[in-house]
């Protein structure tokens, strides 16, 4: 886990040009469409409230002007002074204030409810799309970075939605407010607009640099998250404490964080300094106009009400223009992040599925066959499998034997079509696996990998997840647990199948590794599959439990095909055919007795293991 210091951003992360930001904005309409689809009623109500709130400040300001002029007229006994009109203006102002407060609260309620619904909607969409992608995609580090950025967007981009809505509201308010300001002095209003352009450019420039910084630091931020998980997780606590890793993990995480903080601090200081200096321009333009308005009031060219109205209108226009320019910059910045979300949604599975994919046959007729299969992981220096050929007939049991890295688990992944061969092909009943619908194919395969998952959920779920349709079928789950000897585990749990397993949630019960393995075996057995694949199925079982499991295995797989991966000869000797793999090739192939008679690699390994029991 090598730490990475300051480095040059890659081409994907370097987004300095206005063209890049403009292109990122194309993702804004689809995002707004997603919001609208989430709950049209809330979205429409929020927009309606914002439209009304955009014009209320202008109306309120104008009524205040009339109210002040009427007070001065009454106080100086000017002709046309009307006390009834004074109270009418006051009533209108109170009504406008109450309406503003009501609409603000309705808008806030709609925004809050819409935010909750949208977060859930986009999270579920992300999960659905992630489920459509294959293992080859997941094992690509570049995709992991993309997934990490997409996950952050499910909540972080809510602020952008409200930003866009606020921008529209501010624009309407500016149009209404600026009409009177322009009528009074179009020159000063023009100066105010021009003075804000450098501020807008500066904000946008630094927003692009900030995005580039976060983009290129995605791998390191994932490393920090991983170190946090290692240092503060119930699944790692035992080993971390045993080996005294806490200080190392903390220092490693802090080193990465400090490097990121150092670069981010430098950018933040430059951003604050430059933006402050440019911000002096609109302040100068505003106070120049303010001086001119005061001169007009002193010369009695405008009334006191006009003075209050114009000064507040100029101040509001200055604030609105500043907010609009800042928000445009922020929207452009946020659009870069939204691009990450839609880039994830645009990710296609690495394994193609034909438009008219075949449904996996039931039953298998001629079985599965590897025909000169080669395979190498993307970016790997050398292939894992080199010219593998063998046949797995219906009802036949094959064992794979070989040292770690020989290609056993990779071969199983190809059988399940988690990957496609680099060269050669794998067939089922003479048809290339690529022609089948992968979902229907995998429904016919029951697998337990050596690194099986331990779900922090009920025992029922841990078994029923092997065939999701069986979650409510207690008899089927009970039968699977009996076949795998997990029934002895379940019977000792306080709530049977409804007991929470694992320590993540309250009331959870932790199992031993051997007990977990029996539960995982039940998960494979609950699936009425035609092919059963067991990757080191008894690795965590004691000798007696192992004997019991395989005593039943022949009966449990009667009429089914099976692939066993094991280092224990007591396991592999029961197979019809044993494939000895070495350096990605089949070194030997035959039954246990046949391979012993060859007196080659298999016989050598058998004698080495047997000697350990003498």
Q: What is the CATH number of the domain that holds 509?
A: 3.40.50.300
Q: Which residues contact 613 (CB under 8 A, 6 or more apart)?
A: none
pLDDT on residue 361: 92
Q: Could you tell me if 378 and 135 are in contact, meaning their C-beta atoms sit under 8 angstroms apart?
A: no
Alpha carbon 35 to chain centroid distance? 18
Pair (38, 163) in one structural domain: yes
Pair (513, 576) in one structural domain: yes
**Per this entry, what is the length of the chain?**
614
Q: Could you tell me if 565 and 535 are in contact, meaning their C-beta atoms sit under 8 angstroms apart?
A: yes
Is the pLDDT at 601 greater than 60, yes or no? yes
**How many domains is the chain partitioned into structurally?**
2
Pair (338, 418) in one structural domain: no
Position 387 in a domain: no
Position 125 in a domain: yes
Position 472 in a domain: yes
Position 325 in a domain: yes
How far from 153 is each of 131, 336, 479, CA to CA, in Å? 18, 11, 44
Position 377 in a domain: no
Could you give the angle at which helices 83-132 and 304-345 cross, rounded to 10 degrees?
10
- Report the CATH number that the domain containing residue 303 is assigned in CATH: 1.20.1560.10
Q: Could you tell me if 369 and 392 are in contact, meaning their C-beta atoms sit under 8 angstroms apart?
A: yes
Q: Could you tell me if 341 and 161 are in contact, meaning their C-beta atoms sit under 8 angstroms apart?
A: no
Pair (199, 283) in one structural domain: yes
Phi/psi of residue 503, nearest 5 degrees: -105, 5
Pair (404, 300) in one structural domain: no
Cis link prior to 231 (omega < 30° from 0)? Answer: no
Query: Mapping DSSP to helix (H, G, I), strand (E, B) and coil, where does residue 308 land?
Result: helix
Beta carbons within 10 angstroms of residue 4's beta carbon: 12
CA distance 412 to 447: 9
Position 1 in a domain: no
Q: Could you tell me if 550 and 384 are in contact, meaning their C-beta atoms sit under 8 angstroms apart?
A: no
- Out of 307, 327, 345, a domain closes at 345
Is the pLDDT at 196 greater than 80, yes or no? no
Q: Could you tell me if 93 and 64 are in contact, meaning their C-beta atoms sit under 8 angstroms apart?
A: yes
pLDDT on residue 128: 82
- Alpha helices, DSSP H, located in 76-140: 83-132, 135-138
Torsion of CA 506, 509, 512, 513, to 10 degrees: -60
CA distance 457 to 278: 57
Mean of pLDDT values over 30-54: 88
Query: Mapping DSSP to helix (H, G, I), strand (E, B) and coil, where does residue 159 land?
Result: helix
Q: Which residues contact 154 (CB under 8 A, 6 or more apart)?
A: 119, 122, 123, 126, 341
- When mean pLDDT is compared over 80-84, 452-456, 498-502, the highest value belongs to 498-502
pLDDT on residue 9: 38
Residue 572 — very low, low, confident or very high, per pLDDT cuts 50/70/90? confident
Pair (202, 67) in one structural domain: yes
Q: Which residues pair with 392 in a beta bridge?
A: 368
Is the pLDDT at 4 greater than 60, yes or no? no
Pair (426, 549) in one structural domain: yes
Q: Which residues contact 443 (CB under 8 A, 6 or more apart)?
A: 360, 527, 529
Pair (308, 423) in one structural domain: no
Q: Tell me what percent of the residues of the chain surpass a pLDDT of 90.
A: 17
The residue behind tokens 């604050």 is: 272
β-pairing, 531-535 with 445-448? parallel
Is the pLDDT at 430 greater than 50, yes or no? yes
Number of helices followed by number of strands (H, E) in the chain: 22, 10
Pair (430, 310) in one structural domain: no
* Tokens coding 311: 């000064």
Structural domain range at position 222: 18-345
What digits encode the pLDDT tens for the residues 455-475? 888 999 999 988 888 888 999
Q: Could you tell me if 557 and 397 are in contact, meaning their C-beta atoms sit under 8 angstroms apart?
A: yes
Q: Which residues pair with 391 in a beta bridge?
A: 369
When the pLDDT of each residue in the chain is averaged and rounded to a whole number, the result is 80
Adjacency order of strands within the sheet including 431-432? 385-392, 368-375, 423-428, 431-432
Q: Could you tell me if 96 and 60 are in contact, meaning their C-beta atoms sit under 8 angstroms apart?
A: yes
Position 355 in a domain: no
Q: Could you tell me if 389 and 370 are in contact, meaning their C-beta atoms sit under 8 angstroms apart?
A: yes
- When mean pLDDT is compared over 96-105, 309-318, 595-604, the highest value belongs to 96-105
Pick the more confident residue, 547 or 224: 224
Residue 496 — very low, low, confident or very high, per pLDDT cuts 50/70/90? very high
pLDDT on residue 242: 60
* Tokens coding 223: 């490393």
Phi/psi of residue 587, nearest 5 degrees: -80, -40
Pair (333, 405) in one structural domain: no
Pair (428, 338) in one structural domain: no
Q: Which residues contact 252 (CB under 8 A, 6 or more apart)?
A: 1, 3, 227
pLDDT on residue 2: 39
What digits encode the pLDDT tens for the residues 57-94? 888 888 888 888 787 777 776 666 678 888 888 899 89
pLDDT on residue 57: 85
Position 321 in a domain: yes
How far from 105 is each of 111, 370, 402, CA to CA, in Å? 10, 66, 68
CA distance 521 to 88: 81
**Terminal CA-to-CA distance of the chain, rounded, Å?**
42
Pair (448, 338) in one structural domain: no
């Amino acid at each position: 886990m090598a730490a990475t210091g300051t480095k040059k951003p890659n081409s994907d992360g370097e987004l300095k040009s206005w063209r890049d930001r403009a292109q990122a904005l194309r993702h804004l309409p689809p995002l707004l469409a997603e919001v609208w689809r989430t709950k049209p009623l809330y979205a429409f109500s929020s927009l309606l409230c914002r439209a009304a709130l955009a014009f209320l400040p202008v109306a309120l300001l104008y009524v205040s002007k009339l109210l002040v002029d009427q007070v001065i007229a009454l106080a100086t006994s000017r002709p046309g002074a009307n006390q009834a009109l004074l109270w009418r203006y006051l009533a209108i102002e109170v009504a406008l204030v109450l309406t503003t407060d009501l609409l603000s609260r309705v808008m806030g309620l709609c925004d809050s409810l819409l935010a909750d619904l949208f977060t859930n909607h986009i999270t579920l969409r992300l999960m659905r799309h992630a489920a459509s992608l294959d293992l080859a995609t997941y094992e690509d580090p570049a995709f992991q970075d993309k997934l990490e950025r997409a996950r952050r967007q499910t909540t972080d981009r809510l602020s952008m939605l409200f930003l866009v809505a606020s921008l529209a509201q501010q624009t309407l308010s500016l149009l209404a407010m600026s009409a009177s300001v322009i009528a009074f002095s179009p020159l000063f209003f023009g100066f105010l607009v021009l003075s804000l352009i450098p501020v807008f450019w500066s904000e946008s420039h630094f927003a692009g640099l900030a995005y580039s910084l976060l983009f290129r630091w995605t791998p390191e931020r994932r490393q920090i998250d991983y170190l946090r998980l290692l240092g503060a997780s119930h699944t790692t606590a035992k080993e971390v404490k045993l080996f005294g890793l806490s200080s190392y993990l903390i220092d490693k995480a802090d080193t990465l964080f400090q490097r990121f903080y150092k670069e981010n601090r430098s950018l933040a200081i430059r951003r604050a300094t430059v933006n402050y200096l440019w911000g002096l321009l609109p302040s100068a333009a505003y106070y120049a106009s303010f001086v001119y308005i005061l001169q007009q009031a002193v010369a009695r060219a405008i009334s006191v009400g006009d003075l209050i109205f114009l000064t507040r209108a100029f101040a509001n226009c200055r604030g609105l223009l500043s907010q609009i320019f800042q928000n445009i910059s922020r929207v452009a910045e946020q659009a870069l992040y939204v691009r990450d979300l839609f880039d994830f949604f645009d990710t296609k599975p690495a394994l193609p599925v034909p438009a008219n994919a075949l449904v996996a046959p039931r039953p298998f007729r001629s079985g599965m066959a590897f025909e000169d299969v080669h395979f190498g992981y993307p970016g790997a220096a050398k292939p894992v499998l080199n010219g593998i050929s063998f046949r797995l007939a219906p009802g036949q049991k094959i064992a794979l034997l070989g040292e770690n890295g020989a290609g056993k688990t990779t071969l199983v992944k190809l059988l399940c079509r988690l990957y496609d061969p680099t060269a050669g092909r794998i067939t089922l009943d003479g048809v290339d696996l690529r022609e089948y619908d992968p979902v229907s194919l995998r429904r016919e395969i029951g697998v337990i990998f050596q690194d099986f998952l331990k779900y922090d959920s009920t025992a029922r779920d841990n078994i029923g997840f092997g065939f999701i349709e069986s979650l409510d079928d207690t008899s089927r789950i009970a039968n699977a647990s009996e076949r795998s000897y997990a029934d002895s585990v379940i019977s000792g749990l306080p709530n049977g199948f409804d007991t929470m397993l694992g320590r993540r949630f309250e009331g959870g019960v932790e199992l031993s590794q051997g007990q977990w393995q029996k539960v995982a075996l039940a998960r494979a057995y609950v699936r009425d599959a035609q092919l059963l694949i067991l990757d080191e199925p008894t690795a965590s079982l004691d000798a007696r439990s192992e004997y019991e499991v395989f005593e039943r295995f022949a009966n449990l797989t009667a009429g089914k095909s099976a692939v066993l991966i094991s280092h224990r000869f007591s396991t592999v000797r029961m197979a019809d055919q044993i494939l000895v793999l070495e350096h990605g090739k089949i070194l030997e192939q035959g039954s246990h007795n046949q391979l012993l008679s060859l007196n080659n690699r298999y016989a050598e390994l058998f004698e080495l293991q047997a000697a350990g029991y003498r």
